[in-house]
Structure formats: C-alpha cells, structure tokens
Amino acid sequence: MTNPPITFVIAGSEATGGAGVQADLRTLQQLGVYGAATLTCIVSFDPNDGWNHRFVPIDSQVIRDQAEATLADWTPNSVKIGMLGTVPTIETVRDILAAAKLPNVVCDPVLICKGQEPGAALDIDNALRGEILPLVDVITPNYFETCTLAGVESIESVAALGDAAKKIGDAGVKAVLVKGGMAMPGDHAVDVLWDGSELVEYSRPKVGTNAVSGAGDSLATAVSAGLAQGKSLHDAVDAAKEFVTEGIRRALVGNTPFDVVWQGE
C-alpha cells in the first residue's frame, strides 16, 4: 500500500468532538490524508456555566515529546496549527517549527478561548504575531481574529475584508485567508484570500443563520490537506470552502446552544 500524504496537526482537544483535534482528524480522514496530532491543551465545555470553556494547557515538555515522536515516524507534507492558548505553548511550537522546517504550514490563529482571562488575549496576540506567523505559509483568521490582527474595529463589506487581509499580509504572512462567514451581510458566506499578489473571493450561499462549531478548524485543516496532496493554494482553498459548506449543511444537533459541522457523508 502506498502511504497517503501526512498532515501534522498541532492543536487542542475539544471533549465533545465538535472542534479542535477531533474535527481536524475527521477532516483529514475524510479527505484521504493521514493525520498525526500533538495536543497543546484540553478544552472541556462547562454545561453548568453557559458552556464556557474549561481550559487546561499541556506542559511544554509533553508537547515537545509528542512532536518528537511524530517527526521521528513521519515526514509531514503539511502542518495545521490550531489552539495554542498560552505564551509558553506558542514559544514551544515556534521552536518545533523552526527546527523541523516543514512545508505548507497553515495556522488557524485562535486568539483566546471563551472562559479564559480577557487580559491573556493581548499577550497571546502579540506572541502569535511575533513567534508563529513569520513561520507559517497560510493564516486563516475568522471575523473577530481578522479585526484583531488587522487592528480595525469592524469589517462591513467584502472589500474591507480584502483590505484587512492585505494589512495582515503586510505584517509578514505569506498568504491570508480571512473568513467573513455569518458576520458579513448578504446571502453568501464570503472568504477572501490574499496570496501576496492578488485578492481572490470564495463565496457560497449561507446555510442557516447560526455559526456552527468546528467550521473554522475544518476549513484550515482542509486547506492543509489540499496542500499536502499537492494542490495549488487557490485550488486547496476552493475545495476546502466547498467541503466545509457541505459539512455545515449536514451539521449535527446536540445539547449545546450551537450545532457542529459534520465531515462525513
């Protein structure tokens, strides 16, 4: 048997399975890519406290140990970075990436986890900008993260979404895929890619009216999967957009106040 492409996932665990590494590995399996995962934190929703996140970071040495095992076994074709959550974790992942020099690094820049101290957001934001973003090939911020990274209060149009993507790119990121999602007006969910030379829009009709957990994780992971398979960035983004749109159409309904994207048939 010929081995499939390999994607190295560095992200957190989300116990209900809707997001985080659980969603990443389902996405990779569905797309025909083998996923190996290094956990950075454990997130557990608290159903007795408005479904806030109970956030537990994983020790930096344990993160290094996981990465060491993965990289001794496999030669990844791409990397997907998700929830990091603390400055020490960010610094540890920086060291792993700098030493391994892996291709096709896609970062979903989760700035803060609901339930964490708000003051932690600025430290995490600064650490991500300074330590992680210079080492990645593609960043996939959602609406909130785009506003934060671009330094703007709000984004009201697709044109402004593109301007924000270019501003983030000017900070040294090679390619920026900003996700308008449900936050943007109109009947279409529009994402905009700044590839360093041009802006390209990826649009699909909106599905429902609510945000769906795991959609952002799945999109970034699907982009990483496409790059691992040798697709161009534009083709990888277009395929990922279609994959996640279908996943939202098939969203699962549980007892949380939000639905969950489903990567299966």
65-82 pLDDT, tens digit per residue, is 999 999 999 999 999 999
- Helix, strand and coil in the chain, % to nearest 5: 40, 25, 35
List the Cα angle 5/96/223 in 5-degree steps: 35
List the Cα angle 84/34/230 in 5-degree steps: 95
Tokens of 223: 């982009």
Cβ(209)–Cβ(183) below 8 Å:
no
Cβ(248)–Cβ(208) below 8 Å:
yes
For position 127, what pLDDT does the model report?
Answer: 92
Stretch 55-64: mean pLDDT, rounded?
Answer: 97
Report residue 123's pLDDT band, with 50, 70 and 90 as the boundaries.
confident
Q: Is the pLDDT of residue 211 over 80?
A: no
Identify which has the larger pLDDT, 52 or 177: 177
> Which residue, among 15, 6, 8, has the nearest Cα to 214 in the 3D structure?
15
How large a percentage of the chain has pLDDT more than 90? 83
For position 115, what pLDDT does the model report?
Answer: 47
